[in-house]
Amino acid sequence: MTNPALYRELPPTMHGSPEWLEARLAGIGSSEVSALFGLVDWDSAWTVWLRKTRRVPAGADLDTETMFWGRALEPIIRRVACERLGLTVETPGTLQSVIRPYMLYSPDGLMSDGGLLECKNTAWFMAGRWTGQIPDHAELQLHHGMYVTGATHAYAVGLIGGNRLEVVRVDRNERLINLVVDRCNEFWRGHVLADIEPPITGTTADRESVDELHPHVGGDMHVTRQQIDALHAEYKQAHQAETDAAKRKAVAGNQIRALMRGHDRLLVGDNVWVALKNGRFRTKDFRDAEPELYAEYLTLASLDTSELREEHPDIYARYQAKSLDLKEVA
């Protein structure tokens, strides 16, 4: 059961409103916890810090296509989950911890047996993470919620690929709750309140945030050797290690293919060690080997980027990807 003495419900606000956005800045939401642990690519401690310290607009992460469909399908997922569990549900607003007011939780539902409810709309390729278990980021989210509410258990409900619903009960784990509380406390006090920037990571979220904060302006930027030396060396070493690892992987892969001798799977006894899986369609090979069939099924013309660059150089530059080219220095 939940313990109402541990939390209070914040005044209701409309999703996306200025009041709703401001409330999100007042603490760490359960969906942000996995970013503090570095478990997801779409968010990070640095991007959470940028939002909480108002270095980016409050609504910078407000909506994506995935978020839109998650909200749109949430009532359906909740209704079916209740039917399968034989329980009823209440849908409160944002809940705030009394002991640690910077820990906020917006449950998808409070179940009639005292458990929490979290609804997820996820892609088909995530199915393996929902077979008798739930993804790590969802488990952290639930334990954050269990800390705020005092709940002893929760239900994670995942709609996978739009046609398969998994309902998994998660019981309270005090060790995991302590990890969540410690990390949230360290981040809020050590970074947000102290206004100390966390390290930038290698996530897509950080890459996109860097580009948004520092749009391309061209020209030269002068820095000291002390500023770039260690980063330059680290990047080159990592690049070389990546290249070496790719070569070793290719060698081992080719030797395994030779060992398979054209078969689909490689077994030791009854245990499958290797299996072929379908990958991307080899368009170039298909075009070269089957030119007539290729022409028959070619329905979309390619984008003439050369002409676009010629006639609209500013727009072309805006969408041209940029990569790092590290030079040898003495």
63 domain residue, yes or no? yes
State the average pLDDT over residues 153-157: 95
Same domain, 129 and 186: yes
328 domain residue, yes or no? no
The sign of the torsion formed by the CA atoms of 125, 106, 85, 173 equals positive
227 domain residue, yes or no? yes
330 domain residue, yes or no? no
Same domain, 59 and 126: yes
Predicted pLDDT at 320: 74
Same domain, 222 and 85: no
Sequence-distant (≥ 6) Cβ neighbours of residue 111 within 8 angstroms: 82, 85, 87, 88, 89, 117, 155
pLDDT of 184 > 70? The answer is yes
Predicted pLDDT at 179: 96
> Which of 211, 228, 248 marks a domain boundary?
211
Predicted pLDDT at 89: 95
How many structural domains does the chain have? 2
325 domain residue, yes or no? no
Same domain, 29 and 155: yes
pLDDT of 255 > 90? The answer is yes
Predicted pLDDT at 125: 83
| Proportion of the chain above pLDDT 90, given as a percent | 59
Predicted pLDDT at 71: 85
Same domain, 25 and 141: yes
Same domain, 196 and 75: yes
Predicted pLDDT at 59: 63
145 domain residue, yes or no? yes
pLDDT of 286 > 70? The answer is yes
Same domain, 199 and 263: no
Predicted pLDDT at 58: 67
State the average pLDDT over residues 141-148: 97
Q: Which domain holds residue 131?
A: 4-211
pLDDT of 15 > 80? The answer is no
Residues 294, 286: contact at Cβ < 8 Å? yes
Return the structure tokens found at 22.
């401001």
Look up the CATH number of the domain holding residue 66.
Answer: 3.90.320.10
Same domain, 91 and 177: yes
Same domain, 143 and 73: yes
What confidence tier does 323 reach under pLDDT thresholds 50, 70, 90? low
Return the structure tokens found at 96.
């705030």
DSSP string, 22-79: HHHTTSEEGGGHHHHTT--SS--HHHHHHHHTTSS-TTTTS--HHHHHHHHHHHHHHH
Return the structure tokens found at 308.
């676009």
User: What does pLDDT average to over the chain?
Assistant: 88
269 domain residue, yes or no? yes
Same domain, 235 and 160: no
Predicted pLDDT at 247: 95
Q: How many CB atoms lie within 10 A of CB 162?
A: 12
pLDDT of 302 > 80? The answer is no
What confidence tier does 153 reach under pLDDT thresholds 50, 70, 90? very high
Predicted pLDDT at 24: 81
pLDDT of 60 > 60? The answer is no
- 43-52, 119-128, 245-254: lowest mean pLDDT where? 119-128
Predicted pLDDT at 112: 95
State the average pLDDT over residues 242-267: 92
State the average pLDDT over residues 121-139: 86
pLDDT of 61 > 60? The answer is no
> Which of 157, 190, 211 marks a domain boundary?
211
Q: Give the length of the chain.
A: 330
| Proportion of the chain above pLDDT 70, given as a percent | 95
116 domain residue, yes or no? yes
- For residue range 210-239, what is the model confidence (pLDDT) as tens digits? 998 998 888 899 999 999 999 999 999 999
- Give me the residue label for tokens 């979290």: 118
> Which of 211, 244, 273 marks a domain boundary?
211
pLDDT of 317 > 60? The answer is yes
Q: Does pTM top 0.85 for this prediction?
A: no
Same domain, 226 and 199: no
State the average pLDDT over residues 113-139: 89
